[in-house]
């Protein structure tokens, strides 16, 4: 990480940051707080991945998106699922496409051009797609491989004013807890070495000399315990509602105002919706059920802003009626 990049992350915690539409990400707004800023600064300075823990919907993934927007760096995302393998973060080998091509060429056995082209058409390197860490470590190499790969996806979108010499990439690895333990352990090896070997192309991919380290942000919803070795090598930022009911109400109210600053939500609606959310969270906790969170709170405000904008009385009346759709996610029989 260059010295310039280490000190570059200083967003204004008092001013919301607009996040433009990017790929499948819709327009949004984000307001950094002192802890999240310091956590990112520390991760960048230490050269370690930042693991963000917290309940679903609290805004873990958006921190990576906001960091990328502030740094004017590409955001490269990889969402983990139960079928994830350790190599997926580095590259993927499209064996299915290669088999289909082989079958197609086999059907052309009688054509005189088949023998001359079969070896080049089925070369393994033509079916290797760069993964998120390949792009983050060596953009030029990934771009070259992506262009050579059959059916490869386009490169990650980068800001028009991105300076590769000064700003690295921001990598978001979402929901790491869905993967088997070999995925986070393998991730540590690649991040520690700042590179990896690709057997299909017989080349090594490594961070270029003098290039800034990528900022790697990993999220977990705590669905599965993560390996101790993995946790030791990460910096960990715990996202949660602040302690104390009054503090939680104020936190939710301020978060609502960041997302709806144009007057569509009446002043007392922010607090009324927050109070309803906290009541339902307590009920869910009492019975050991999934608790609604910040995402559900914003869903409520979004619905109210659209159905009865700026009408305090109508919003208050409607809030009591639609809360059961937005906040109560468990079967009625689960709560006695």
The whole-number pLDDT of residue 133 equals 96
- Both tokens of 67, joined, read 């960091």
- Do the beta carbons of residue 256 and residue 265 sit within 8 Å? yes
Please, what sign has the CA dihedral across residues 89, 93, 94, 95?
negative
DSSP symbols for 67-98: HHHHHT--EEEEE--TT--GGGGTEEE-HHHH
Structure tokens at 15: 């001013």
Residue with tokens 């900022």: 215
User: Alpha carbon of 278 to those of 117, 256, 302, 327: distances in Å?
Assistant: 66, 15, 18, 10
Strands (DSSP E) contained in 60-214 are 75-79, 91-93, 128-130, 170-174, 195-198, 203-206
Q: What tens digit of pLDDT does each residue of 192-243 get?
A: 999 999 999 999 999 988 889 999 999 998 888 899 999 999 999 999 999 9
Rounded to whole angstroms, the Cα distance separating 2 from 68 reads: 16
Per residue in 203-212, pLDDT tens? 999 998 888 9
φ/ψ of 274, rounded to 5, equals -65, -40
CA angle 223, 227, 231 (to 5 degrees): 95
- What is the spatial distance between Cα 172 and Cα 216, in angstroms, rounded to a whole number? 6
What tens digit of pLDDT does each residue of 47-94 get? 999 999 998 889 999 999 999 999 999 999 999 988 888 899 999 987
Asked if CATH classification 3.40.50.300 holds for the domain at 3-92+123-238, the reply, yes or no, is: yes
For tokens 């699922």, the residue is 81
pLDDT mean over 290-300:
88
% of the chain beyond a pLDDT of 70: 87
Instruction: Report CA-CA distances (Å) from 316 to 22, 273, 275, 282, 313.
Output: 34, 9, 12, 21, 5
Helix (H) or strand (E) holding 103: helix 95-106
């Amino acid at each position: 990480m260059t010295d310039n990049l280490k000190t570059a992350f200083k967003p204004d915690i008092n001013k919301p940051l607009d996040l433009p539409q990017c790929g499948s990400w819709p327009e949004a707004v984000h307001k950094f707080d002192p802890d999240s800023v310091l956590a990112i600064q520390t991760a960048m300075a230490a050269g370690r991945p930042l693991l963000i823990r917290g309940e679903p919907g609290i805004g873990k993934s958006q921190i990576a998106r906001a960091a990328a927007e502030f740094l004017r760096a590409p955001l490269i995302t990889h969402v983990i699922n139960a079928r994830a393998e350790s190599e997926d973060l580095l590259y993927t080998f499209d064996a299915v496409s290669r088999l289909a091509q082989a079958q197609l060429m086999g059907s052309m056995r009688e054509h005189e051009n088949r023998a001359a082209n079969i070896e080049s058409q089925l070369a393994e390197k033509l079916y290797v797609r760069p993964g998120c860490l390949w792009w983050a470590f060596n953009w030029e190499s990934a771009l070259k491989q992506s262009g050579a790969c059959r059916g490869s996806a386009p490169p990650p979108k980068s800001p028009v004013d991105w300076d590769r010499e000064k700003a690295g990439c921001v990598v978001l690895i979402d929901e790491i807890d869905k993967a088997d333990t070999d995925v986070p352990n393998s991730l540590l090896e690649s991040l520690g070495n700042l590179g990896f070997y690709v057997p299909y192309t017989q080349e090594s991919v490594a961070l270029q000399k003098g290039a800034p380290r990528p900022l790697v942000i990993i999220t977990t919803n705590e669905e599965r315990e993560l390996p101790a070795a993995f946790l030791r090598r990460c910096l960990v930022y715990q996202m949660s509602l602040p302690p104390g009911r009054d503090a939680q109400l104020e936190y939710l109210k301020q978060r609502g105002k960041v997302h709806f600053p144009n007057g569509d939500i009446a002043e007392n609606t922010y607090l009324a919706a927050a109070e309803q959310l906290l009541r339902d969270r307590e009920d869910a906790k009492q019975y050991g059920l999934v608790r609604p969170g910040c995402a559900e709170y914003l869903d409520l405000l979004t619905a109210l802003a659209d159905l009865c904008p700026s009408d305090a009385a109508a919003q208050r009346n409607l809030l009591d009626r639609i809360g059961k759709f937005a906040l109560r996610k468990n079967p009625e029989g689960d709560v006695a």
